[in-house]
Homo-oligomer: A and B are copies of this chain.
Amino acid sequence: MKIYSYSDLSKQEIESICLRQLEDDITIQDRVKSIVDAVKTDGDKALFNFAKQFDQVELAQLFIDKKEIEEIAASIPSEAKAAIDTAYQNIKTFHAAQAKKEEKIETMPGVTCWRETRAIDRVGLYIPGGSAVLPSTFLMLGIPATLAGCKEIVVCSPPQKDGKTNCYLAYCALKLGIEKIYLVGGAQAVAAMAYGTESVPKVYKIFGPGNRYVTQAKQLIQSTTMTAIDMPAGPSEVLVLADETANPSYLASDLLAQAEHGADSQTILVSTSNEIITKTLEQVEIQLKELPRKDVTALAIANSYTVLVKDLEQGMEFSNTYAPEHLILSTEHFEKLIPLIANAGSVFLGNLTPESAGDYASGTNHTLPTSGFAKAYSGVSLDSFVKKITFQHISPKGLENIGSTVEVLAEAEGLRAHRNAVSIRLKNN
C-alpha cells in the first residue's frame, strides 16, 4: 500500500487520489444494451436463453413458488436461521423508526399544507447470487419494502446450479412473506423488471447491487424507461480514520474485509500516527495469508493507500473530499468528529464497531452510495420505498389571505390563466 503524507499533497493530487473511475467500457455498454433489447423484445424466451448461456442452467420455469421456497428454506442450518432472525429484527427495528407522520402546517391563516407518505406500489429487488449469494442484501431491501407497504415486491436472483435458489434466500423470502423468487440474474433481470415479461411483472423502481452488467443495465433503464433506480453504483470502499487509540489488528481486519469484495474495492487508511500505519500494514500481511479469498484480496490491498495526517480534523477534511461509502472512526475521540462529517454513506464509531456489523446486523442499511456519490446521495432507507405527496387546503378565509399574492405573481410571470383561477374564486367567495 502506498503511503501519502497529506501535508505534502497539492490540491490536485488530493483530488486525483480521491477520484474513482466511472464505468465507461463501451464493450460492456453494448453487451448490456443487446441483453436489455433482447428481453424487451422476446420476454421470457430471452430469459430462458440467458439462464442457459450465463448461468448454465436449463430452467423449466422462471421462478420458484411458495411451496418450493418453504421446502428449500427447511434445509437451513439452525445457526444460520438464528443469525438471520437476529439481523432481521435489528434491521426492522431501525427502519421501522424511520416512518414519521408529519403534522399539518398552517402556513397562513386558512392555508393548510402537509405531506403524506405512500408506498411505491411495485418495486423490484435484485439479489446477487453469482460468486456469492447474499441473503443480507435480501434483508436490507426486503425489510424496508415490506415496512413501506409496497404491494408487489418482485425479487430476482440468478438460479443456482440446481436451477433453484439457496436455503438462505429461501428462508429470507419466508420471513419477508415473499412468495416467489424469479430465477433471473444480471442485466436481464433488470430489463425484465423494467419492461415486464410474461412471467416477471414490471415495476416502478429497481433496487440492489450487482456486477458491472447489472449496474450498467440500471443506468440504461433509468435513462430510457419510466423506471427509477435506488442509486448509481460502483465498487465498494472503506475509509478508516485512526489515531493512536486504535488497534492495528482491528484496523487490518477492517481493511481486509473491504478488500475481499473484489480487486476493484478501495480500502484507505488515514491516520495521525506513523506507528499505527506501520503496524497495521504488518497486520494486513499476517491476516491476509489465512484468507480463502486471499488472491483477490491482495489485489485490492495493492491498489489501496494510506494517508498520514497531522490530526483527526485534517483526516476528516480528507474523508469529506473522498466521500467514502463506509467511514470507520477508529478512535476513542469519535464524538468530536461527528459534527465534522459532511460526506459519507454509513459511519462506524469507535474501536468495537466494525463495518461488517453494519453489513449484516446492526440495523442500518448496507445499500450505500459508492464512488463519491455520498456527496449527493443517501443510502437506501424506508424513504427509498415511498413517495411523499404534498396536500393543501384553502378555506374561504385562506383564499382572502393568499389571493392577491397568487394574482400578482402569476401576472408577473405572464400567466393570466393562473391568475384567473384565483380571481374567479375570489369573486364568488
Question: Of A5-13, A43-51, A55-63, A256-264, which binds chain B?
Answer: A256-264
- A244 → chain B closest CB, angstroms: 17
Cβ of A40 within 8 Å of any chain B Cβ, yes or no, is: no
Interface string of A135-162 (1 = CB under 8 A from B): 1100000000000000000000000000
Separation of A290 and B419 alpha carbons in the complex (Å): 12
Separation of A418 and B359 alpha carbons in the complex (Å): 9
Separation of A357 and B378 alpha carbons in the complex (Å): 32
Whether B355 lies near A402 (C-beta < 8 A) is no
- A192 → chain B closest CB, angstroms: 17
Interface string of A369-399 (1 = CB under 8 A from B): 1011111111101010011111111111011
Separation of A134 and B374 alpha carbons in the complex (Å): 31
Interface string of A284-313 (1 = CB under 8 A from B): 000100111100010000000000000000
User: Interface size bucket, A side?
Assistant: 35 or more
Whether A226 lies near B372 (C-beta < 8 A) is yes
Q: Which of A232-267 contact B (CB under 8 A)?
A: 247, 249-250, 253-254, 256-257, 259-261
Whether A111 lies near B363 (C-beta < 8 A) is yes
Cβ of A406 within 8 Å of any chain B Cβ, yes or no, is: yes
Cβ of A26 within 8 Å of any chain B Cβ, yes or no, is: no
- A210 → chain B closest CB, angstroms: 15
Given contacts A118-B341, A135-B409, A413-B132, contact A421 B363 (CB under 8 A): no
Q: Which of A81-109 contact B (CB under 8 A)?
A: 82-84, 86-87, 89-91, 93-94, 97-98, 100, 102-103, 105, 107-108
Whether B256 lies near A417 (C-beta < 8 A) is yes
What B residues does A409 contact at CB under 8 A? 80, 83-84, 87, 135-136, 360-361
Whether B115 lies near A405 (C-beta < 8 A) is no
Interface string of A346-358 (1 = CB under 8 A from B): 1111111111111
Whether B94 lies near A253 (C-beta < 8 A) is no
Given contacts A364-B392, A393-B349, A398-B352, contact A425 B378 (CB under 8 A): no
Whether B349 lies near A364 (C-beta < 8 A) is no
Separation of A352 and B428 alpha carbons in the complex (Å): 10
Contact of A118 among B91, B256, B343 (CB under 8 A): B343
* Chain B residue nearest to A419 in the complex (CB): B356
Cβ of A31 within 8 Å of any chain B Cβ, yes or no, is: no
Separation of A272 and B22 alpha carbons in the complex (Å): 53
What are some 13 contacts across the A-B interface (CB < 8 A)?
A93-B107, A94-B105, A111-B357, A121-B375, A135-B413, A168-B412, A226-B371, A259-B417, A290-B416, A346-B392, A354-B421, A360-B418, A378-B387
Please name the 10 residue pairs, one residue from A and one from B, whose CB atoms are nearest each other, closest first. A107-B363, A83-B408, A354-B421, A90-B107, A228-B376, A356-B418, A364-B390, A253-B421, A256-B417, A204-B376
In addition to A83-B406, A113-B364, A363-B392, 18 A-B residue pairs with Cβ atoms within 8 Å of each other are A22-B224, A222-B223, A226-B376, A228-B376, A253-B417, A346-B390, A347-B392, A349-B393, A351-B425, A353-B394, A354-B425, A359-B406, A360-B405, A364-B390, A378-B386, A379-B388, A381-B390, A383-B388
